[in-house]
Amino acid sequence: MAQPVRGARTIRRAVVTGGAGFLGSHLCEHLLDRGVEVVCLDNFLTGSPENVLHLMERPGFRLVRCDVTDYVHVPGPVDLVLHFASPASPLDYLKMPIETLKVGSLGTLHTLGLAREKGARYVLASTSEVYGDPLVHPQPEEYWGNVNPVGPRGVYDEAKRFSEALTTAYRSSRGTDTGIVRIFNTYGPRMRFDDGRAIPAFVGQALSGRPLTVAGDGSQTRSICYVDDTVTGILAMAFSGHAGPVNIGNPDELSMLRLAEWIVELTDSDSSVEFIDLPVDDPKVRRPDTTLAEKLLDWRPQVPSEEGLRRTVDWFAGQLSAREARVG
């Protein structure tokens, strides 16, 4: 049953959980650029204060160390709660399965409670992982997914599926103004070298002259979206009254082998490609159907993948140079 559309609201002050993470830090920055005050909550489990260091002197920005699986309290008015706290890469959530499940369940419960208390708009960061290893391609929001709940990736997939159900329940039974975005593979500056996801891994390997490790035969596909485009889509949802879920991602689909070869070209590296075992339950294909985002939010990605990858490579190269300078 479709949830009713609420009227768009004025956003003056926002809370961003996981705001010191890769995606969260970009959300904080874009909100500040729009004149919105930002309270950034993070326990620094996978995020880092360095990601928001450049925001510390900006008026209206506040960084608070907080674990949202515990009690969450934010003094003063709040117009928007963006729940983006969670390990998001397989490397992280496989290391921290309990923490991942807790932030998807207790963290969602507590942040929904904050939104209800403040009368705020609430946007949940869900994920393309709710589709699992999809049997429908591309994936529309109506697809229920193909998830193994007891597989190694289940801790993340099911945490997000539960958080979607809880967010929907708060909207339907408590009247909370909620929205759900399902975010597909996003990349860009401020990803960690040791993130474990393909793009930072490939870029780090190429820049250091090591072989690029491609899982399986490299034929599995992903759709990659530059971070500025993803954030624009998320904020379009946040400033709307739509419930979702809405896919936010780039339909530009490519194989992992092609992605590795592209990064070798962009870095002008002599690195070779090595094939490693495919992880358990690794999706074979992944591409969003973005028809709904285009219709409801008038949103579509603007940054071509080659340009986004070039910017990302340049950022990682700068980080590597700075690290070597400090060591030297």
Q: Would you please indicate which residues are annotated as catalytic (active-site) residues?
A: 156
Q: Cα separations (Å) of 314 from 170, 177, 324? A: 43, 40, 15
Contact predicate 231/299, CB 8 Å: no
The residue assigned the tokens 């699986």 is: 69
Contact predicate 122/83, CB 8 Å: yes
- Give the separation between CA 197 and CA 127, rounded to whole angstroms: 15
Residue 111 Rama label (left phi>0; alpha psi -120 to 50; beta)? alpha
Nearest to 234 by CA among 14, 44, 78, 3: 14
Contact predicate 290/253, CB 8 Å: no
Contact predicate 281/153, CB 8 Å: yes
Residue 97 tokens read as: 């399965």
Handedness of CA 303, 308, 310, 316 (dihedral sign): positive
By CB atoms closer than 10 A (0-12, 13-18, 19+), residue 194 is: exposed
Could you give the maximum distance between any two Cα atoms of the chain, in Å? 61
Cβ neighbours for 313, distance < 8 A, ≥ 6 positions apart: 203, 207, 263, 266, 267
By CB atoms closer than 10 A (0-12, 13-18, 19+), residue 97 is: middle
- Give the separation between CA 81 and CA 145, rounded to whole angstroms: 27
